[in-house]
Amino acid sequence: MRLGVILTFAAVVCGLLYFVLTNPSVERLEVLRAELEQLQEQNARLAEKNRKLEREIVALRDDPRLAERRARERVGLARPDEVIFQFETPEEAQRVQVRLRVDAEGQAELAGRPVEVGELAGALQELRQEMPHSELVVWISEEVGPLLHQQIIDVVDASPMAPARIEE
């Protein structure tokens, strides 16, 4: 009888261990612990960011020089006796139109300089390097033959100046 009680007790203990170790709640608990750890790290980072912002708010409220500097930088304010100069940055540069003219005799002129049609590709390449913000406007006389007309359009389309505005 004693042996039966021990075996029953051992079976119950083994059953409980099996249930606890194979229960999906154990896996879920590990996932939740990892998620909790990530959230605690994120919370610590946000708390540090809040402390930094609070220090900045106090500095802006209590230090008039800092508040003045911020107003000057962000809003562009100036003192009554000051003059502010604003300079264009390359991103704000004006686009310049450059004209390519081809007359009835097939003579080409790019930006006021004569150029041979066979050298047009190189001239357009140089123009892009000299004037990176330029826009090409092409004017081809109606009397230019269709082959030369298409050749010029093909050279312009393959150049770094493409796309160009075509005027006829």
- Domain contains 102: yes
pTM comes to: 0.43
- Domain contains 82: no
pLDDT in tens, the chain (168 residues): 788 888 888 888 888 777 777 777 767 888 889 999 999 999 999 999 999 999 888 877 787 777 777 777 777 777 777 777 766 665 555 667 777 888 877 788 888 888 888 888 888 888 888 877 788 888 788 887 888 888 888 888 888 877 777 776
- Domain contains 72: no
Q: What are the structure tokens assigned to 130, written together?
A: 């000299």
The parent domain of residue 7 ranges over: 2-62
- What is the rounded distance in angstroms from the CA atom of residue 99 to the CA atom of residue 86? 31
- Domain contains 96: yes
Which of residues 44, 62, 80 is at a domain's end?
62
Domain match, 95 and 161 both = yes
- Domain contains 36: yes
- Domain contains 85: no
- Domain contains 52: yes
Domain match, 44 and 107 both = no
Which of residues 17, 43, 62 is at a domain's end?
62
